[in-house]
Structure 1
Amino acid sequence: MIAFGLVGILIGLGLLIWLSYRGWSVLILAPLAGMIAALFSGEPLLAHLTQTFMASAAGFVAQFFPLFLLGALFGKLMEDSGSVAVIGRYVTERLGTRRTVLAVVLAGAFVTYGGVSLFVAFFVLAPMAQELFRSAGIPRRLMPAAIVLGTSTFTMSALPGTPSIQNAIPMPFFGTTPFAAPGLGIIASLIMLGFGVWWLGREEARAQGREGFGDGEPPSGERLATDLQLRERATTAREFDPPEITRGKPSEASLSILPAALPILVVVSVNLLMSTLVLPWLDTSFLAEARWGETSLAAIGGVWSVVTALACAIVTVLAINYRRLPTIRESIDAGANASVLPAMSVASLVGFGAVVAAVPAFAVVRDAVLGIEGGPLVSLAISTNLLAALTGSASGGLTIALDALARTYLERAADIGMSPALLHRVAVIGAGTLDSLPHNGAVITLLAVCGSSHREAYRDIVIVGIVGPIIGLVAVMLLGSVFGSF
């Protein structure tokens, strides 16, 4: 029966990967794949559907939907106010055409570290990068890699305090904050940024005199945002539903850099204050009561910090741009709507993972993962890498891995005196490496936005989006093993 159960897990996972890549909705595929795994294991299907799948998916939504909601809303307001475009132009103008690649990288890093949703950054920065690359004579094929480096590597997984959903997911499992292992996170960020900029600079130098920008124009942003197949792939990858980008009305009034950047500074500063000063000062002993779920500040404080930071930033951007936004209600509605499908898609992946973890055959998989040589850090890094790669989702793969194994990793870490903060940082960076495989929705969307193909541009995405983060991950694991968390 165990052998049949393993076959069922593989068939369910295979169908999930194959059909989701072909544009089928994960909302249907994930429960179907879970039921296949349960069927091959001889487990009760309806019980797993309602008590395992739905309970786990609902638990994910209960924990993290506020982050999806506020993150998407903030990103939409920043886009419609023109703040993202102003920040991008400011950075690129200051660095000039001689540093075009670095300008695109830093513009993407600044807005995403400040809480702007990834797809918003894609659709705003790509047209800007296209003009800069054309003016500088840099090949179009390097555009996607430059945007990936700035938006989807160190600001997503390594830089301490980042409000990304990936950085938030380990907090309830490990009792950590968004600033877990800050020193190691900064070192990893510098490695990813330095390695990626070096590679892109090398490719730019090699292309001089041999390659121009290239011919052709990418499809319109509106057509790409409403492509249904692209949408299904994208919503499992990141926390913004692309069609909502075209809804609402952008402001036509000009905005200077200080008011444009202020909401992002609010996100970073409020997040830091909540994590280090405000929440530790509060008396939260009431959380142990049954009416509050018998929890603790360690389990939910990190989420509270990010939620408060994003809420304050939303109030700030509305206060600054209240008279400039032509259709505030439509922008708010679009931002709120943009959060729903991604949250439910990732929750469905989590529900599938819960069913797999509940069938008896999963014990074989768990023992194999936990038996990997090198201790809990190596095992954790490999498990998050593999699950993020298979699901095409860093957040989905990370949650599945931690749902199944976080308690065991904590126990093993406690036995050897390892800090949960180190587990947090390794888990997040690990989930942000192989998630950028060719079937990842964010990769497919970005290539389409930039008018490039996998054949032309994917090799450079691999180098800056997978190889660089893996080098950073290895560095964190080595340093953490020797010096502990810092």
Structure 2
Amino acid sequence: MNFIIVLAALCFLMFVAYRGYSVILFAPVAALGAVLLTDPTLVAPMFTGLFMDKMVGFIKLYFPVFLLGAIFGKVIELSGFSKSIVSSIINLVGRKRAMLSIVAVCGVLTYGGVSLFVVVFAVYPFAAEMFRQSDIPKRLIPGTIALGAFTFTMDALPGTPQIQNIIPTTFFKTDIYAAPWLGMIGAVFVLLAGLGYLEWRRRQAAASGEGYGSNLVNEPEPFEHEKLANPFIAILPLVLVGVMNKVFTAGIPGLYGKTHSFIPAVVGKSAPVVQEISKIAAIWAVEGALLVGIAAVFVFAGKVVIARFAEGSKAAIAGALLASMNTASEYGFGAVIAALPGFLVVANSLSAIPNPLVNEAITVTALAGITGSASGGMGIALAAMADSFIQNAQAAGIPLDVLHRVASMASGGMDTLPHNGAVITLLAVTGLTHRVAYKDIFAITLIKTAAVFVVITAFYLTGIV
């Protein structure tokens, strides 16, 4: 019965998300409904002590990233830099390769350490302009961005600094370059299969005479100036974000040390505020890099941007608020579901799978799907079962590097179900609905999930790591 309650809550939330209802409203409804059916006395304590605590904690950490990412994307759009870059790429690779170009841009940013949420805000103006000029349906933009930002560069390529590739290092004592050849095999599989699928969808649309579309919402404003910026100047803010993120990531821990404290200069508030730098250095790095990118846009196109910044920034802030609240609600939902007895039933059932790598892959991707979070599902799975995974792998002669890569890639598989925060953010930013655009995201999800088992098969066939 406990398992059915958890499953019902998950199915309910996916259903309302797919139907277009606000997850901000229905995530707590789904979570607390499950608590009500499990133990009615825990509804209020779970809401304030767990759901709201996790939701507010997420906003505390990540809202500045959402806000600065939205502002960065907006000034790139208002400056005309997006149109300049798109025009240059179209001239370079041809109109029919617009999707490849967007995947490449997303991949470079994500592998450079830029948060996938920031990538969505930053790349959407480019994607909209490129798809419009190439007359490719706008509904294919979310699937294209998902392929570039949510898949192979997030957790498959060795060395990616995304959190999904960092979490396993603390459990398996590995580094972010674990199992490089298996990671490359998985990345190539996802990239080629994903591009093949998107190209097939584009040809279908072209054959039926479907173009970019009309009467759309959240469309980037057209750039009215005839003279476009030099493409090298236009792409400089994007390059700066990636480079400065690396610089700040390396420099912040050295500047502040492991912890940093200060005493507020307020009467009656003499207790020091202590912060663990390791937990927030990556967030500070992204925020600093985005500020540098925004400043660069103002340096090179200040007059153009300032003229429309007042109205443009309002739209960006509204988008950041919606996206962050959606994701925070999902985070609270996952925390509540993971605290219920039914979730433990799921975790224990998955542990019965005999093959160590298949066991790990199915467990991690299932829990990521239930919680709607790659990092959340993997964190829960490894916290509960890492010792068991290690023991079984060592008994079978499997290197811990392989465990790392399988866990990392599996976390980014079924996590992108309809209630996933990144999916909801992507659709909100692009102004599309689940009904219109989720089919292609789900197809990419299936390809990404299949890649984990391709990697496992490659290991058993060749022993390559």
Structures share a fold, TM > 0.5? yes
Match of 1:314 in 2: 294
Task: State the Cα distance separating 1:172 from its structure 2 match.
Answer: 7.0
Amino acid at match of 2:80: G
* Structure-2 residue corresponding to 1:470: 449
Structure 1 residue 224 and structure 2 residue 196: aligned?
Answer: no
Match of 2:7 in 1: 10
**Contact 2:323–2:428 under 8 Å retained in 1:** no
1:348 matched to which residue of 2?
Answer: 329
Is the Cα–Cα contact under 8 Å of residues 153 and 192 in structure 1 kept in the other structure? yes
Give the conservation status (yes or no) of the 8 Å contact 1:34–1:352. Answer: yes
SS in 2 for 1:324: helix
Residues 310 and 408 of structure 1: is their aligned pair in 2 closer, same or farther, counting only changes over 3 Å? Answer: farther
Report the Cα distance in structure 1 between the residues aligned to 2:205 and 2:56, rounded to whole angstroms: 51
Which residue number in structure 2 is paired with residue 132 of structure 1?
134
Partners of 2:71 and 2:317 within 8 A in 1: yes
Q: Say whether the 8 Å CA contact 1:156–1:162 is kept in structure 2.
A: yes
Q: Tell me if the contact between 2:323 and 2:424 (Cα under 8 Å) persists in the aligned partners.
A: no
1:267 equivalent among 241, 244, 262: 241
Aligned residue for 1:194?
Answer: 192
Question: Distance between the aligned counterparts of 1:46 and 1:10, measured in 2?
Answer: 21
Give the Å deviation of 1:151: 5.2
Relative to structure 1, the CA distance from residue 214 to residue 147 in structure 2 (aligned partners, 3 Å threshold; closer, same or farther) is: farther
Which TM-score applies when normalising by structure 1? 0.71
1:181 match: secondary structure = coil
Which stretch shows the higher mean deviation, 21-30 or 418-427?
418-427
Contact 1:191 1:471 (C-alpha < 8 Å) held by counterparts: no
Residue 262 of structure 1, CA deviation = 0.8
Name 1:215's counterpart in structure 2: 209
Which residue of structure 1 lines up, in the alignment, with residue 313 of structure 2? 332
- 2:410 corresponds to: 430
Deviates further, 408-417 or 308-317: 408-417
Note closer, same or farther for the CA distance 1:308–1:447 as it changes in structure 2 (3 Å cut): closer
**Change over 3 Å in CA distance of 1:72–1:444 after alignment to 2:** closer
Confirm or deny that 1:278 pairs with 2:274. no
Q: Check conservation: 1:447, 1:453, Cα contact below 8 A.
A: no
Q: Tell whether the 8 Å contact from 1:108 to 1:147 is kept in structure 2 after alignment.
A: yes
Q: In structure 2, what residue type is equivalent to 1:257?
A: P
1:27 to 18, 24, 28: 24
Residue 401 (structure 1) aligned with residue 398 (structure 2): no
Q: Distance in 1 between matches of 2:322 and 2:198?
A: 34
Q: How much has 1:46 moved relative to structure 2?
A: 0.7
Cα pair 2:73 2:125 within 8 Å, conserved: no
Q: What do the CA deviations read for 1:422-465 (whole angstroms, capped 9, x no partner)?
A: 77765554344445568865787899979x967xx95x7666x2
Which 5+ residue runs of structure 1 have no aligned equivalent? 226-242
Measured after TM superposition, the shift of residue 105 of structure 1 is 4.3
Contact 1:153–1:469 (Cα < 8 Å) also in 2: yes
- Partner Cα distance (1:188, 1:132) in 2: 30
Secondary structure at the counterpart of residue 209 of structure 2: coil
Measured in 1, the distance between the counterparts of 2:401 and 2:325 equals 28
1:389–1:82: structure 2 CA closer, same or farther, 3 Å change rule? Answer: farther
Change (3 A) 1:129 1:288: same
**Offset at 1:79?**
1.9
Q: Deviations over 1:239-285 (max 9, x none)?
A: xxxx4x55x7856352111111111111222222334x424534513
Q: Deviations over 1:396-442 (max 9, x none)?
A: 42244145334235555676799999777655543444455688657
Shift of 1:180: 3.0
Matched length: 435
1:52 aligns with 2:47: no
User: Secondary structure at the residue paired with 1:327?
Assistant: helix
Give the AA of the match of 1:68. Answer: F
Answer whether contact 1:354 1:404 (CA < 8 A) is retained. Answer: no
Pairwise CA RMSD of aligned residues? 4.5
Runs (5+) with no aligned partner, structure 2: 263-270
Tell me if structure 1 keeps the 8 A contact 2:326–2:425.
Answer: no
Distance in structure 2 (CA, Å) of the matches to 1:306 and 1:259: 21
Q: Deviations over 1:181-233 (max 9, x none)?
A: 384655543333234445667888xx7xx99543354543xx432xxxxxxxx
Query: Per the alignment, in what secondary structure is the counterpart of residue 345 of structure 1?
Result: helix
Distance 1:294 1:53, change over 3 A: same
- For the Cα contact (< 8 Å) 1:381–1:426, is it kept in 2? yes
Structure 1 counterpart SS, 2:303 = coil
1:364 aligns with 2:345: yes
Deviation at 1:70, TM superposition (A): 2.3
- Determine the C-alpha separation between the residues in 2 that align with 1:144 and 1:286: 39
Alignment match, 2:268: none
Say if 1:171 and 1:50 are closer, same or farther in 2 by CA, change over 3 A.
farther
Aligned to 1:76: 74
Look up the SS of the partner of 1:254 in the other structure. coil
* Letter matched to residue 177 of structure 2: A
Q: Would you say 1:180 and 2:176 are equivalent positions?
A: yes
CA distance in 1, matches of 2:402, 2:387: 14
Q: What displacement does 1:341 show?
A: 1.5
Query: Counterpart of 2:338 in 1: which secondary structure?
Result: helix
Rounded Cα–Cα distance in structure 1 between residues aligned with 2:31 and 2:96: 52
Question: How far apart, in 1, do the equivalents of 2:399 and 2:273 lie?
Answer: 27
